Amino acid sequence: MSFHEIEINDENIKEIVEKEHSFQEFEYLVTSHQYEVREKVALNPKLPAVYANWMAQDLAMSVRVNLAENPNLSAEIIHKLSEDEKIAVICAIAKHPKLPQGKLMEFSKHQSYLVREAAASNPTLPASELARLRNDSEWGVRRRVAENRNTEPKELESLLGDSYLEVISAIAENPSAPADLLSKLLERTEGDEGIRSFRDSILRNPTFPEERVIEIYLEGKKPNQDDSEDDYMLSNSGDRIAISQRYPLSVRAIELIIDDPYQVVRGYLARNLSLTDKYLSKLALDPEASVRTDVVNNPNASPETKATATLLGLESYNDD
Amino acid sequence: MISQKQRDEFLVTHYLNEQKVLEAEALIDKSGEINELLRQVALIYSDLDDLENSLRVFKKAYECGDKKSLPWLIELLQNFYPDESELPELLNTRDQLLATRDFDVLFSMGNMHITRREFSEAIETWSNLLQTDNWMIERNLLSELVMNPDNEVVLEALGFKGSGDINEVILFLKERYQHFLKRHSEALLDFFYFCQRYVNHPAISEIAPEALLDMIHGFALEGSIQSIFVGHSMALSGEMKDSRFEELIQKYDLTELAKISGLELETRGSVTGSQSINQVPTGNYSSNNAKSNEIFERADVAIKNNDLDGELAIWIEGAKQGIQGCFNNIAVPMASKLGITTNLLIGASGGEDSAWSPLVKGIQMSEMKPAEFNLISIDNPLGSSVIKGSLKERLPQASKENINKFSKLIEYLGFVIKQLDENLFCLPFGFEGTFIPIFAELINDEGKDSLLIYAPILSSKIERSNVVINPVEPLSKFELEILKVLIRDVHLVFPNSGLYLGDSFSRLPSDRIPIHFTSSQKVQEIWSCTGPAGDEIIVEPLPTSSEFTIFQFGIASDLSLQSDHFETAVRESFKQVIGVANHLTEMYGESLDYWNQFFDHMPITSTHYQEFVVDDEAAAKQGFLGAQIRKHFKAYLEKQKLENLQDLVSLNVPLAKRALTAIDLNKANVQLVAKNLMELAENYEEDVEIRNALNNVGWFYMNQNSFDEALPYLLTAARLGSANAMSNLSWQLMLLGRHQESVDYHNKFYYRILTTRYSPIDFDQASNLRSNNALNLWALGTSTSELKAIWDDEFFQGSHVESKFYPILIDFLQGEVEASRNKVQSFDDSIKRELITTFEETSTHQGWFGEISRKSLELLGHEAKKRRGLFGRG
B645-682 pLDDT, tens digit per residue, is 898 888 888 888 988 998 899 998 999 999 999 999 99
The mean of the pLDDT values for chain A is 90
Residue B120, min C-alpha distance to chain A (Å): 24
> Which residue spans within B460-536 are E strands per DSSP?
515-530
User: Which residues in chain A have their CB less than 8 angstroms from residue B770's CB?
Assistant: 1
The whole-number pLDDT of residue B393 equals 56
∠ Cα B507 B509 B513 (to 5°):
90
- Under an 8 A CB cutoff, do B751 and A1 touch? no
Nearest CA to B745 among B763, B731, B762, B759? B731
User: Which residues in chain B have their CB less than 8 angstroms from residue A190's CB?
Assistant: none
- Under an 8 A CB cutoff, do B563 and A193 touch? no
- The model's confidence at residue B252, banded by pLDDT at 50, 70 and 90, is confident
3-class secondary structure, B14: helix
Contacts 24+ apart (CB under 8 A), A161-169: A163/A139, A164/A139, A165/A194, A165/A195, A165/A198, A166/A139, A166/A140, A166/B563, A166/B564, A167/A139, A167/A142, A167/A143, A168/A195, A168/A198, A169/A195, A169/A197, A169/A198, A169/A201
Please state, as a whole number, how many other Cβ atoms lie within 10 Å of the Cβ of residue A297.
12
CA distance B1 to A313: 17
CA distance A210 to A203: 9
3-class secondary structure, B356: coil
User: Which residues in chain B have their CB less than 8 angstroms from residue A136's CB?
Assistant: none
- Under an 8 A CB cutoff, do B755 and A4 touch? no
The whole-number pLDDT of residue B238 equals 57
Residue B398, min C-alpha distance to chain A (Å): 17
User: Which residues in chain A have their CB less than 8 angstroms from residue B751's CB?
Assistant: 30-31, 54, 57-58
- Helix B209-221, helix B185-197: angle, nearest 10: 150
Tell me the torsion sign for CA atoms A19, A23, A24, A29: positive
Provide the CB-side half-sphere exposure for B450 (13 A, CA). Answer: 21
- Contact in structure between B795 and A4 (CB atoms under 8 Å): yes
The 3-state secondary structure of A246-310, one letter per residue: CCCCCHHHHHHHCCCCCHHHHHHHHHCCCCCHHHHHHHCCCCCHHHHHHHHHCCCCCHHHHHHHH
CA distance A261 to A266: 8
- Under an 8 A CB cutoff, do B766 and A59 touch? no
Q: Is the pLDDT of residue B433 over 80?
A: no
- Contact in structure between B580 and B483 (CB atoms under 8 Å): yes
Over residues A208-228, mean pLDDT? 76
How many contacts (CB atoms, under 8 Å) link A and B?
102
User: Which residues in chain A have their CB less than 8 angstroms from residue B99's CB?
Assistant: none
User: Which residues in chain B have their CB less than 8 angstroms from residue A58's CB?
Assistant: 751, 755
The whole-number pLDDT of residue A224 equals 52
User: Which residues in chain B have their CB less than 8 angstroms from residue A93's CB?
Assistant: none
The whole-number pLDDT of residue A318 equals 45
Distances (CA, A) of B78 to B57, B360, B603: 16, 60, 73
The alpha carbons of chain B give a radius of gyration, in whole angstroms, of: 40
- Contact in structure between A164 and A143 (CB atoms under 8 Å): yes
- Pair type for strands B375-378 and B515-530: parallel
Least confident residue range of B273-282, B323-332, B478-487, B578-587: B273-282
Which among A59, A62, A112 has CB closest to B685?
A59
The whole-number pLDDT of residue B263 equals 53
Please state, as a whole number, how many other Cβ atoms lie within 10 Å of the Cβ of residue B511.
6
Interface test with A, best of B412, B535, B763, B786 (most A CBs within 10 A): B412
- The model's confidence at residue B765, banded by pLDDT at 50, 70 and 90, is very high
Q: Is the pLDDT of residue B83 over 80?
A: yes
The whole-number pLDDT of residue A76 equals 96
3-class secondary structure, A177: coil
Which among A3, A30, A137 has CB closest to B763?
A3
The whole-number pLDDT of residue B262 equals 59
Residue of A nearest to B802 (CA): A1
CA distance B14 to B266: 14
CA distance B480 to B488: 12
Read off the amino acid at residue B652: N
Interface test with A, best of B405, B512, B747, B751 (most A CBs within 10 A): B751
pLDDT, one tens digit per residue, over A58-88 is 999 999 999 999 999 999 999 999 999 999 9
Please state, as a whole number, how many other Cβ atoms lie within 10 Å of the Cβ of residue B240.
14
Distances (CA, A) of B340 to B279, B333, B355, B495, B497: 20, 10, 13, 14, 13
pLDDT, one tens digit per residue, over A108-146 is 999 999 999 999 999 999 999 999 999 999 999 999 999
Q: Is the pLDDT of residue B409 over 50?
A: yes
- Chain A residues with at least one Cβ partner in B under 8 Å: 1-4, 24, 28, 30-33, 35, 38, 54, 57-62, 86-88, 91, 111-114, 117, 137-141, 143, 166, 193, 223-226, 228-229, 231, 233-234
Residue B56, min C-alpha distance to chain A (Å): 22
Residue of A nearest to B757 (CA): A33
Backbone angle region of B828, left / alpha / beta, with phi > 0 → left and psi within -120 to 50 → alpha? beta
**Termini Cα distance of chain B:** 96
Nearest CA to A293 among A272, A314, A262, A313? A314
The whole-number pLDDT of residue B50 equals 84
Residue of A nearest to B37 (CA): A228
- The model's confidence at residue B604, banded by pLDDT at 50, 70 and 90, is confident
The whole-number pLDDT of residue A283 equals 96
Which among B103, B751, B754 has CB closest to A234?
B103
What are residue B540's DSSP bridge partners?
B528
The 3-state secondary structure of B171-187, one letter per residue: HHHHHHHHHHHCCCHHH
Name A277's Cβ contacts closer than 8 Å, sequence gap at least 6: A300, A301, A302, A305
Least confident residue range of B68-77, B389-398, B622-631: B389-398
pLDDT, one tens digit per residue, over A283-311 is 999 999 999 999 999 999 999 999 999 99
CA distance B212 to B193: 12
Name B639's Cβ contacts closer than 8 Å, sequence gap at least 6: none
Which among B36, B564, B751 has CB closest to A228?
B36
**Termini Cα distance of chain A:** 40
- Contact in structure between B39 and B61 (CB atoms under 8 Å): yes
Backbone angle region of B432, left / alpha / beta, with phi > 0 → left and psi within -120 to 50 → alpha? left
pLDDT, one tens digit per residue, over B349-360 is 888 899 999 999
pLDDT, one tens digit per residue, over A167-203 is 998 999 999 999 999 998 888 877 665 667 788 899 9
> Which residue spans within B137-288 are E strands per DSSP?
none
Tell me the torsion sign for CA atoms B865, B869, B872, B874: negative
CA distance A113 to B94: 55
CA distance B626 to B529: 8
Residue of A nearest to B765 (CA): A1
The whole-number pLDDT of residue A128 equals 96
Residue of B nearest to A227 (CA): B36
Distances (CA, A) of B22 to B37, B500, B575: 13, 44, 64
Burial B742-760 (b: 16+ CB within 10 A, else e): bbebbeebbbbbbbbbeee
> Which residue spans within B168-311 are E strands per DSSP?
none
In percent, the amount of chain B with pLDDT more than 90 equals 40
Tell me the torsion sign for CA atoms A225, A227, A231, A232: positive
- Under an 8 A CB cutoff, do B103 and A32 touch? no
The mean of the pLDDT values for chain B is 85
The alpha carbon torsion through A316, A318, B1, B6 (nearest 10 deg) reads 100
